Each structure stands twice: as structure tokens, then as C-alpha cells.
Amino acid sequence: MPIKVPSDLPARAILERENIFVMDENRALNQDIRPLKIGILNLMPLKEDTELQLLRSLSNTPLQLDITFITVSSHESKNTAQSHINKFYEPFSAVKGGRFDGLIITGAPVEQMEFEEVDYWQELVEIMDWSETHVTSTYFICWGAQAALYHFYGIKKKLLPHKLFGLYPHQVLNRKEPLVRGFDDEFYMPHSRHTTVEAGDIRSCQELQIVAESQEAGVFVAMAQEGRKIFVFGHPEYDRMTLDKEYQRDKGKGLEIQIPKNYYPNDNSSQRPLLIWRAHANTLYTNWINYYVYQQTPYVW
């Protein structure tokens, strides 16, 4: 699909080398269509890595997407150059007067803290409340999904005895739900987290529906308001080597870390991991854009 991004965004050159169609502002202006406005609130520390992962995941629909990267003003990033943020990101205060067809709220490495202890929590609450009236469908990832369930439904996360880390098999529970249309009966997805939201707590809330889950990793996808809120507790956007980088990083810091499950051939970290989740990840993002954003959003807000 044509993704509309700034012409000098670093991720653009990588995407073009991968034969992903990326459109600049000038060409987009010559097309007589309304692109879908997609906001990405990127809370991850390595923002350029997350930009690339999400743009890859969004690149499989024929619809034109106009991407806006959003940042919070109440937190200063220590792992991404401020010049990059100043050039390619908009503070929430600059975009809250408009509307988005879709909004992605990423995870963040703060899951072992209480939500209220996170320095940008109040700003995130404002963004989540704003999304209810200014966004057609919001897609929450990992900690972002936990934060949304806590804020909107009072469901608390729980600390796991050890990090859930690796690739896990999942099952589709409701094949009629368009979000998982085209999925196999069983599929693998990456997880990397210290906390979880228990399936029983989600099922006890009548407003929520579990769409896919794993016996070992727990709930993978839940939704509310007929898809106006999508909660994804894993990381389908992860690249082949993302879990490897996390594993090597933690080992290098001397942290207690288990080898990512079902990831390396023969559990040998010297071997290149097999990429076995990309097709389902692409289908998940494409289904979200098609069925919950494009087919639901008005042409004129």
C-alpha cells in the first residue's frame, strides 16, 4: 500500500529497499482520494525501530494511509535523539484539535510500575479519553492494551513469576470476527512482558470480547465497542531479530533472562530465528485497517 510519510524519515529508505511502496507528500497531493489519517502514539524508547516495525505492518493494504507520529510532552525520551522527535513527531497538544481514522498506542517498558507512577500517565489518560470522540478505532499494543483496560474498565494487570518471552501458539475463538478473518486455527505470535491481564477478568466484563488466546501466553486479542477499541497483548509487529536483540541486551546487562521460547532453532541462540508470524501479523493489521477503520470512518469528519 502507499504509506504517506515525510520524505526524509529514516525508515523510508529501508522500506523502499524492501519494495514497500512509500509515498511522499507531493505525490499524495496529486491523488484525488482521501487518505486514512492514522496516528501512532509511540511510547517505546527506541522510536526509530518501532516506526519501522509498524510501518512494515501497515504496508499490506491498497488504501493510502497518512501517518502522523505523536509524542507525549510530559516525558523526555532518553534513547532517541531529540532532533528526530522534533522533526518527525507532533506533540499531542498540536493534534488534539483534529480527528484520526485510526490510532495506534504502543507499549512501553514501564509495566512493572503502577500506572499512576508513570510520569506521562495523566497525559495518556487524556489521550485515551480524547480518542473516544476523535478516533474511529484505536489499536492498543501490550502495555498500552493493559493501560486501556485499566483506565476504561478498571481491570488490573498482574505481575508474572517470570518474563513471558518468546513465540507462543494461539487459537482463534471467534472465526466470524473480521479482525481474525484469514487466520489459521493455530498461529504463533511474539510476547515480551512481565505482566498480564487474566482472561477471567476480561471475560467478567460484558463490554469486552476475547478474539484469540493462548493456553500458555493468555489473551492475545480482545476488543470492545464492535472494534472501536482493539487490545493486542503480544507484539505482532516485531521483526525477525527483535526478540534476539532483547535477549542479547539483557544477557549483556547480566540480567536473569530465559532463552525466548520457540524462537531459535533447537533453542540455539547462535542460529538465525525462523520468521513464522509475519503472515498473521500482516493480516491482523490489514483487517483492522479495512474492517474497523476504512469501512467505519466517514469520508468527512
How would you classify the pairing of strands 65-71 and 3-4? parallel
71-85, 89-103, 142-156, range with the lowest pLDDT: 71-85
Please give the pLDDT value at position 63.
86
Please give the pLDDT value at position 28.
45
Please give the pLDDT value at position 30.
46
Query: Which residues have C-beta within 8 Å of that of residue 20, sequence separation ≥ 6?
Result: 3, 55, 56, 59
Highest mean pLDDT among 3-17, 60-74, 216-230, 244-258: 216-230
Mean pLDDT, residues 275-291:
95
Q: Is the pLDDT of residue 1 over 50?
A: no
Which DSSP helix (H) or strand (E) runs through 103? strand 100-105
Q: The pTM is what?
A: 0.88
Confidence band for 130, pLDDT divided at 50, 70 and 90: very high
Q: Is the pLDDT of residue 120 over 70?
A: yes
Query: Which residues have C-beta within 8 Å of that of residue 116, sequence separation ≥ 6?
Result: none
Q: Is the pLDDT of residue 73 over 80?
A: yes
Q: Is the pLDDT of residue 20 over 90?
A: no
Structure confidence by residue, pLDDT tens digits, 219-270: 999 999 999 999 999 999 999 999 999 999 999 999 889 999 999 999 999 9
Question: In angstroms, how far is CA 167 from the centroid of its own chain?
Answer: 16
Please give the pLDDT value at position 61.
83
Which residues form the catalytic set? 142, 235, 237
